[in-house]
Amino acid sequence: MKQRILVIDDNIELVYALRRTLEQEGYLVSTVTEPTASIEPAVEAADLLIVDINLGKASGLDMLIALREQGYEQPVIIITAHATPHNVITATRHGAIDVLQKPFEVEQLVDAVNRSFPSTDGNSLNLAVDGQPVIGTSPNMLEVCKTAGLASSNNLNVLLVGETGVGKEVIAKAIHQYSDRAKQRMVAINCSAIPESLLEAELFGYARGAFTGAARETPGKIEAAEGGTLFLDEIGDIPAPFQAKLLRFLEDQTFYRLGETHLKQADVRVVCATNRNLDEMVSNGSFRDDLYFRLSQLTIAIPPVRERKEDIKPLIELFIHQANNELGCRVHRIDAEVLKAAQIHHWPGNIRELKNVVFRAALSASNGVLSTLPYNSAQQANANAGIKECVDRYLEKEGTGSATQLAQIFEAALLAALARDLNGNKTYMCEALNISRNTLKVRLKEHGLDF
Ligand SMILES: Nc1ncnc2c1ncn2[C@@H]1O[C@H](COP(=O)(O)OP(=O)(O)OP(=O)(O)O)[C@@H](O)[C@H]1O
């Protein structure tokens, strides 16, 4: 029997095109273009829904939530021109199996539809959401938000990995805020900031007199997070003895306060983060493999900012707005050339660095325009953090390569550094390199740096 698809979108041309495509694929398609009308009968008859978020006066997300509340369990694919983290996480949190950003290729939709049918076994993806002003509509962030949505709908231990400043804590908060535990607290511990001897007391709590200075009975972070989420940041930095204790706790969520003999039972969801390479640490024996497997029931790799170029402009706009509010600056915009340079900067400190740089620039901006970005001098010294990292990565992955390959890596790093230093001005870049504009364009394109 043919599968029935219901398309809900107020864009008549798009609905027509989708109907044609899906019918050619062998599906039976019905459509709703005026979502104010009662849609339940049409939903009832469908095996899969394709829903736009912005339906004029109505919201596809509200509709999805309402349908779920009424017990409609069909798979839903969300299509939207506004794939913001909030929208993506909310959609996946409420059981959308995919979110496609408009404009999309017809094949992408057909692919998503085809994938949805074999998976009507109750294992469809649910993802998590965040209540923070989280920027990120790049394809890479879309994937992160989808997995965060999945995480928010279950209790699996989550491991967030990514370079410093990419937003691991932000995503941890998102997972918590969109989960059923949102009414309880998310309690964070920065494992690298606590002396080894105090980690256990901090996490499990202690009885009066359990150690010198333990003046009164004190609950630990696990108890503080009861019913909510425990966020263990910098998990790669915990010492071996503590790894064993944490593993024991994760096995059945029971623990003793230090100096007590009464076993306590916890109900917390554990989310961890690290910028270290745990795989490597497991291989060299500095991180227990059993703990690693336990912590990484769901792993979310958050890409560095340089792999989320589409997000840089909205992030800068957000930070300008924040600088205006928090520091009393009066910045209206960033100069177009400066923005271009920012979009190809290496950003080793990721979003944290971007935010600091924008705040500093906002303080010294004149005429309401950011006309330069004061990149960190430490990082400038490293101008070529990029070069070192590229070479290391290259040598790691590829072994020793040919001189030509290495030259390519240096060329890419040189172009990126030059574009940054010259604020993305191609005329100056051509002069500096003594090459034509066309050659510059080709070289930039070849290295994925075209702007
Ligand atoms: N998607 C985002 N949108 C807006 N701001 C963000 C986003 N992601 C991160 N930030 C901001 O960037 C800064 C760094 O984020 P966060 O602390 O979550 O990074 P992290 O990966 O946990 O860093 P570290 O590895 O150093 O612990 C914070 O000020 C945070 O608010």
In a domain, 205, yes or no: yes
Q: Both 347 and 219 in a single domain?
A: no
Residue 167 CA, ligand 1 centroid: distance in Å: 3
Q: Both 161 and 287 in a single domain?
A: yes
Query: Is residue 26 left, alpha or beta, with left meaning phi > 0 and alpha meaning psi from -120 to 50?
Result: left
Q: Both 294 and 335 in a single domain?
A: no
Cβ neighbour number for residue 45 with a 10 Å cutoff: 11
Highest mean pLDDT, choosing among 7-11, 118-122, 275-279, 336-340: 275-279
435 vs 381: which has the higher pLDDT: 435
The pLDDT assigned to 130 comes to 41
Q: Atom of ligand 1 at shortest distance to CA of 162?
A: 21
The mean predicted confidence, pLDDT, of the chain is: 85
Residue 30 CA, ligand 1 centroid: distance in Å: 43
Q: Both 162 and 112 in a single domain?
A: no
In a domain, 362, yes or no: yes
Q: Both 90 and 161 in a single domain?
A: no
3-state secondary structure of 156: coil
User: Is residue 170 lining ligand 1, measured as CB closer than 6 Å?
Assistant: yes
The pLDDT assigned to 400 comes to 53
The pLDDT assigned to 389 comes to 61
The pLDDT assigned to 127 comes to 31
The pLDDT assigned to 398 comes to 54
Residue 124 pLDDT > 50: no
The pLDDT assigned to 72 comes to 85
Residue 111 pLDDT > 70: yes
The pLDDT assigned to 385 comes to 53
In a domain, 131, yes or no: no
Q: Both 66 and 196 in a single domain?
A: no
The pLDDT assigned to 129 comes to 36
In this structure, which residue's CA is closest to atom 9 in ligand 1?
167
Boundary-marking domain end, from 303, 321, 342: 303
The pLDDT assigned to 381 comes to 47
Q: Both 192 and 67 in a single domain?
A: no
Residue 423 CA, ligand 1 centroid: distance in Å: 25
Count of alpha carbons within 13 angstroms of residue 185, beta-carbon side = 9
> Has this prediction a pTM greater than 0.80?
no
Count of alpha carbons within 13 angstroms of residue 116, beta-carbon side = 25
Return the CATH number at 53.
Answer: 3.40.50.2300
In a domain, 144, yes or no: no
Q: Both 222 and 312 in a single domain?
A: no
Cβ neighbour number for residue 71 with a 10 Å cutoff: 6
| Residues forming beta bridges with residue 424, ordered by sequence position | none
In a domain, 390, yes or no: yes
In this structure, which residue's CA is closest to atom 29 in ligand 1?
352
Q: Atom of ligand 1 at shortest distance to CA of 274?
A: 25
The pLDDT assigned to 116 comes to 72
Q: Both 295 and 362 in a single domain?
A: no
Residue 132 pLDDT > 50: no
Q: Both 160 and 242 in a single domain?
A: yes
In this structure, which residue's CA is closest to atom 13 in ligand 1?
352
Q: How confident is the model at residue 288 (pLDDT cuts 50, 70, 90)?
A: very high
In a domain, 106, yes or no: yes
403 vs 203: which has the higher pLDDT: 203
* H or E element, residue 109: helix 106-116
Return the CATH number at 286.
Answer: 3.40.50.300
In this structure, which residue's CA is closest to atom 23 in ligand 1?
165
Instruction: Please choose from 275, 352, 356 the residue to mutate so as to test ligand 1's pocket, defined by most ligand atoms within 8 A of CB.
Output: 352
Residue 134 CA, ligand 1 centroid: distance in Å: 9
Write out the residue range of the structural domain in which residue 390 sits: 306-446
**To the nearest 5 percent, what fractions of the chain are helix, strand and coil?**
50, 15, 35
Q: How far apart, in whole angstroms, are the C-alpha atoms of residue 133 and residue 415?
A: 33
The pLDDT assigned to 368 comes to 84
Instruction: Please choose from 169, 271, 278 the residue to mutate so as to test ligand 1's pocket, defined by most ligand atoms within 8 A of CB.
Output: 169
Q: Both 121 and 216 in a single domain?
A: no
- Of 56-60, 363-367, 419-423, the poorest mean pLDDT is in 419-423
Q: How confident is the model at residue 131 (pLDDT cuts 50, 70, 90)?
A: very low
Tell me what percent of the residues of the chain surpass a pLDDT of 70. Answer: 88
* H or E element, residue 7: strand 4-8
Look-up of token digits 């924040």? 322
Tell me what percent of the residues of the chain surpass a pLDDT of 90. Answer: 40
For 208-233, how does the pLDDT look when each residue is reduced to its tens digit (9 = 90+)?
Answer: 988 888 888 999 999 999 999 999 99
Residue 265 pLDDT > 70: yes
Residue 166 CA, ligand 1 centroid: distance in Å: 5
Look-up of token digits 């962030």? 141
User: How many domains in the chain?
Assistant: 3
In a domain, 108, yes or no: yes
The pLDDT assigned to 409 comes to 74
User: Is residue 355 lining ligand 1, measured as CB closer than 6 Å?
Assistant: yes
Mean pLDDT of 434-449: 82
Mean pLDDT of 155-165: 96
* H or E element, residue 241: helix 240-252
Burial readout 46-64 (b: 16 or more C-beta within 10 A, e: otherwise): bbbbbbbbbbeebbbbebb
DSSP 49-101: EEEESEETTEEHHHHHHHHHHTT----EEEEES---HHHHHHHHHTTEEEEEE
For 374-402, how does the pLDDT look when each residue is reduced to its tens digit (9 = 90+)?
Answer: 876 554 544 445 555 655 655 565 555 56
Return the CATH number at 315.
Answer: 1.10.8.60
Contact 381, 343 (CB under 8 A): no
Residue 351 CA, ligand 1 centroid: distance in Å: 6
Highest mean pLDDT, choosing among 64-78, 225-239, 313-327: 225-239
Instruction: Please choose from 234, 351, 356, 357 the residue to mutate so as to test ligand 1's pocket, defined by most ligand atoms within 8 A of CB.
Output: 351
| Residues forming beta bridges with residue 80, ordered by sequence position | 101
Boundary-marking domain end, from 288, 303, 318: 303
Cβ neighbour number for residue 252 with a 10 Å cutoff: 10
- H-only helix segments in 8-59: 12-24, 40-44
Q: Atom of ligand 1 at shortest distance to CA of 234?
A: 27
For 326-351, how does the pLDDT look when each residue is reduced to its tens digit (9 = 90+)?
Answer: 888 888 889 998 998 899 888 888 99
Contacts of 201 (CB under 8 A, 6+ apart): 210, 211, 214, 218, 220, 258
Question: What's the complex ipTM?
Answer: 0.99
Q: Both 254 and 311 in a single domain?
A: no
The pLDDT assigned to 52 comes to 93
In a domain, 203, yes or no: yes
Boundary-marking domain end, from 303, 333, 348: 303
> Please, what is the angle between helix 403-421 and helix 437-446, to 10°?
110
User: Is residue 165 lining ligand 1, measured as CB closer than 6 Å?
Assistant: yes
Task: Return the HEC string of 329-358.
Answer: CCCCEECHHHHHHHHHCCCCCHHHHHHHHH
Phi, psi of 102 (to 5 degrees): -80, 145
